[in-house]
């Protein structure tokens, strides 16, 4: 398998090269030169296949032999060794709970897969590998956990000051060791822009080997396909589901659409967005106009220029009609998000996190327009990670033991301006 840049000005790369580089030097994103098709009988046989077997079979064509099969299977085993249950909320809507991993967020899947791939590749190199990640909430914690104390790897996390929850911040700032956390006075988009600039800085790359752990990296992006197959495995017959995906940087939705094109049946995808509505506007007007992000209750989705949307366009050959035939987009306000959390808890006894609430509202609206349809929302993070859920419901959300332990740990974080040169200096120090 080869990977080309979506900007088409960089040479093609193998999976190994794409993972280690993170981003092509033309600032595009790596994309597979061909989309594998699922073999005949694959979907029908999901129930007879373990989760790790499914993960291995799905990802193997993308790895293209750059990791031996036995090691790749072991990586898949470690990636999905926690539950991913499909839970019924109503007769029409179920939630795929992706928050049962070590950092209680869906990004554990991609972060665990990538960390183990990078660990494998890094044993072939003598110099340190700098893993640089910008986060709007959950990515940083998942990456930090996945790479913590891995020999030969330094992790640098950039997050926007005042725009993550208390629990998210503790997950970012309490590991120490080989994890350096920078709290930038700016937005997530500014954090992401700095990370991208570092990856494209040729002079910096001569002095420090840097790769990205954001979903711009194919090893973070591609394994997110796994849990769509696990959802289908637990789907109780009938027509394929509508799936609503809380969407911020759009890596999650892009992976689901990729799985669909490969042969996984889905009735329709819904890109469920908050007030950061650049993609819903694109669906309405046909014009893609990035804008500054705004803060919302669903903070991990506060992205005004989603990097991975270009991959969704690439999947459809940049044909917006084909995109709209399979996908819809919706923008949900904070007021509606809070109302949804209250209503679902009161009527069905289920506690949504703000991102899941955005997806629930979006799919509820869509299902009202169709007959005999059922659907799935992705619950991407445990509600304990969001201060707002307790405020909205007026009750304490029970905390898993792993969260309670966080409050006993000491924070280690450096606050600084959202300035590229300052971050660059930190990278150079860690590379020595």
pLDDT digits 0-9 by tens, 5-24: 999 999 999 999 999 888 89
Beta bridge partners of 381: 105
pLDDT band for position 68 (50/70/90)? very high
Residue 125 pLDDT more than 70?
no
Residue 67 pLDDT more than 90?
yes
Please confirm, yes or no, whether 27 is among the known catalytic residues. Answer: no
pLDDT by residue (tens digit) across 304-320? 999 999 999 999 998 98
**Which residues lie closer than 8 Å to 34 by C-beta, 6 or more apart?**
1
β-pair type (242-246, 375-379):
parallel
Q: Mind listing the domains of the chain with CATH numbers?
A: 83-104+221-398 (3.40.50.1100)
Residue owning tokens 């966080």: 406
DSSP 8-state class, residue 381: B
pLDDT by residue (tens digit) across 372-398? 689 999 999 999 888 899 999 998 888
Residue, of 57 and 401, whose pLDDT is higher: 57
User: Of 137, 145, 134, 160, whose CA–CA distance to 214 is shortest?
Assistant: 134
Reading the block at residue 45, the tokens are 């046989």
Residue 199 pLDDT more than 90?
no
Residue owning tokens 């003598």: 126
Q: What is the mean pLDDT of the chain?
A: 92
Residue 404 pLDDT more than 80?
no
Residue, of 52 and 123, whose pLDDT is higher: 52
The region of weakest confidence among 40-54, 72-86, 135-149, 238-252 is 135-149
**Which residues lie closer than 8 Å to 222 by C-beta, 6 or more apart?**
59, 62, 255, 258
pLDDT at 421: 96
* Calpha distance 393→375 (Å, rounded): 25
Q: Residues of the chain with pLDDT > 70: what percent?
A: 99
pLDDT at 407: 82
pLDDT at 211: 86
pLDDT at 238: 84
- Name the active-site residue from 71, 107, 206, 368: 107
Mean pLDDT, residues 20-31 = 91
* Calpha distance 335→408 (Å, rounded): 34
pLDDT by residue (tens digit) across 139-159? 788 888 888 888 788 999 999
**Which residues lie closer than 8 Å to 174 by C-beta, 6 or more apart?**
406, 409, 410, 411, 412
- pTM attached to this predicted model: 0.88
DSSP 8-state class, residue 223: G
The region of weakest confidence among 130-144, 245-259, 335-349 is 130-144
Angle of CA points 154, 157, 159, to nearest 5°: 175
Residue 415 pLDDT more than 90?
yes
Residue, of 402 and 263, whose pLDDT is higher: 263
pLDDT band for position 59 (50/70/90)? very high
**Which residues lie closer than 8 Å to 271 by C-beta, 6 or more apart?**
245, 247, 250, 253, 279, 280, 327, 328, 329, 330
> Reduced to 3 states, what is the DSSP secondary structure of residue 4?
strand
The region of weakest confidence among 163-167, 336-340, 366-370, 399-403 is 399-403
pLDDT at 124: 65
Beta bridge partners of 153: 129
Reading the block at residue 321, the tokens are 């009609």
Residue 83 pLDDT more than 90?
yes
pLDDT at 216: 86
Q: How many alpha carbons fall within 13 Å on the CB side of residue 338? A: 12
pLDDT at 168: 85
pLDDT by residue (tens digit) across 177-190? 999 999 999 998 89
pLDDT at 188: 86
* Calpha distance 6→107 (Å, rounded): 23
pLDDT at 409: 87
Dihedrals φ, ψ of 177, to 5°? 65, -125
Q: Residue 41, Cβ neighbours under 10 Å: how many?
A: 8
Residue owning tokens 């590998």: 129
- The alpha helices in 286-371, defined as continuous H runs, are 309-315, 320-326, 334-348, 354-367
pLDDT at 243: 97
């Amino acid at each position: 398998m080869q990977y080309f840049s979506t900007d088409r000005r960089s040479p093609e790369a193998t999976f190994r090269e794409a993972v280690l580089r993170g981003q092509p030097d033309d600032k595009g994103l790596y994309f597979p030169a061909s989309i594998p098709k699922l073999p005949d009988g694959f979907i029908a046989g999901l129930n007879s296949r373990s989760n790790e077997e499914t993960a291995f079979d799905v990802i193997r064509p993308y790895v293209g032999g750059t990791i031996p099969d036995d090691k790749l299977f072991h990586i898949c085993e470690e990636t999905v060794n926690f539950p991913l249950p499909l839970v019924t909320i109503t007769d029409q809507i179920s939630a795929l709970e992706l928050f049962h991993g070590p950092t209680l967020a869906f990004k554990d899947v991609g972060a665990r897969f990538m960390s183990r791939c990078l660990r494998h590749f890094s044993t072939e190199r003598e110099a340190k590998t700098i893993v640089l990640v910008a986060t709007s909430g959950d990515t940083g914690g998942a990456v930090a956990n996945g790479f913590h104390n891995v020999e030969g790897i330094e992790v640098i996390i950039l997050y926007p000051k005042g725009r993550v929850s208390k629990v998210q911040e503790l997950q970012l700032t309490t590991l120490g060791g080989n994890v350096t956390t920078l709290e930038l006075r700016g937005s997530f988009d500014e954090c992401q822009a700095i990370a991208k600039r570092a990856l494209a800085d040729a002079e910096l790359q001569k002095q420090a080997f840097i790769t990205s752990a954001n979903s711009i990296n194919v090893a973070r992006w591609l394994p997110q396909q796994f849990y769509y197959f696990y959802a289908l495995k637990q789907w109780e017959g009938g027509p394929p589901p509508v799936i609503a995906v809380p969407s911020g940087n759009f890596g999650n939705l892009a992976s689901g659409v990729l799985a669909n094109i490969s042969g996984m049946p889905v009735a329709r995808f819904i890109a469920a967005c908050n007030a950061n509505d650049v993609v819903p506007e694109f669906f309405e007007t046909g014009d893609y106009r990035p804008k500054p992000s705004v803060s919302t209750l669903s903070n991990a989705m506060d992205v005004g220029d989603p990097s991975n949307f270009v991959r969704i366009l690439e999947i459809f050959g940049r044909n917006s009609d084909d995109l709209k035939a399979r996908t819809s987009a919706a923008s949900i306000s904070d007021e509606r998000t809070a109302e949804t959390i209250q209503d679902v808890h009161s009527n069905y006894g289920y506690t949504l996190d703000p991102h899941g609430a955005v997806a629930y509202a979006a799919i509820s609206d869509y299902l009202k327009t169709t007959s005999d349809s059922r659907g799935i929302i992705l619950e991407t993070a445990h509600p304990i990670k969001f201060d707002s859920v307790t405020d909205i419901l007026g009750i304490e959300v029970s905390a898993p033991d792993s969260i309670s332990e966080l409050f006993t740990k000491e924070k280690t974080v450096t606050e600084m301006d959202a300035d590229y040169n300052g971050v660059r200096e930190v990278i150079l120090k860690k590379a020595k």
